[in-house]
Structure 1
């Protein structure tokens, strides 16, 4: 994650937007005497928001992390979908 000044952001906004979108790398804009802001692509924002939602329930987070662990260990199998 890169930290840039407000002036740099203003002077290079289109280039920064392209970099953020193509590389999935947010940028922090440092604004003197104010709180900083983050430039983040909408796709990445939506992904982070969904991940946060899915992990907000301790039980769901446990199930997801357990599933990832099993997948990494090769404990996966395929099932036929039930068609209605």
Structure 2
């Protein structure tokens, strides 16, 4: 996670935006009176929102934890994928 003040961000906007998107960095922009802002890539934001949605339901969360326990206990099977012709 990176931190930069507003003035430095403004002077180097492209460089910081490239770091955020290309290196999957999260950037905290520090401002006066502790009213900071977090900058992240759209891809990272979408992933975060998807995860929040998935675990927001108690039933979904319990299902995920049960699935994780099954995987860790070796209760899974592998299957070959069938190829499909695009004709």
Settle same-fold status: TM greater than 0.5: yes
State the distance in 2 between where 1:72 and 1:13 align: 44
Deviations 1:9-60 (A, max 9, x none): 1111111111111221110100112511111100000000000000001111
Unaligned regions of 5+ residues in structure 1, if any?
none
CA distance in structure 2 between the aligned counterparts of 1:34 and 1:21, rounded to whole angstroms:
25
Q: What SS does the aligned partner of 1:47 have?
A: helix
**Counterpart position of 1:74:** 74
Q: Which residue of 2 aligns with 1:3?
A: 3
User: Take 2:34 and 2:26, find their aligned partners in 1: how far apart are those partners?
Assistant: 19
Indicate the residue corresponding to 1:44 in structure 2. 44
Cα-Cα RMSD: 2.1
Aligned residues: 81
Runs of 4 or more consecutive aligned structure 1 residues displaced over 6 Å after TM superposition: none
Residue in 2 that maps onto 1:56:
56
TM-score, length-scaled by structure 2: 0.79
SS at match of 1:33: helix
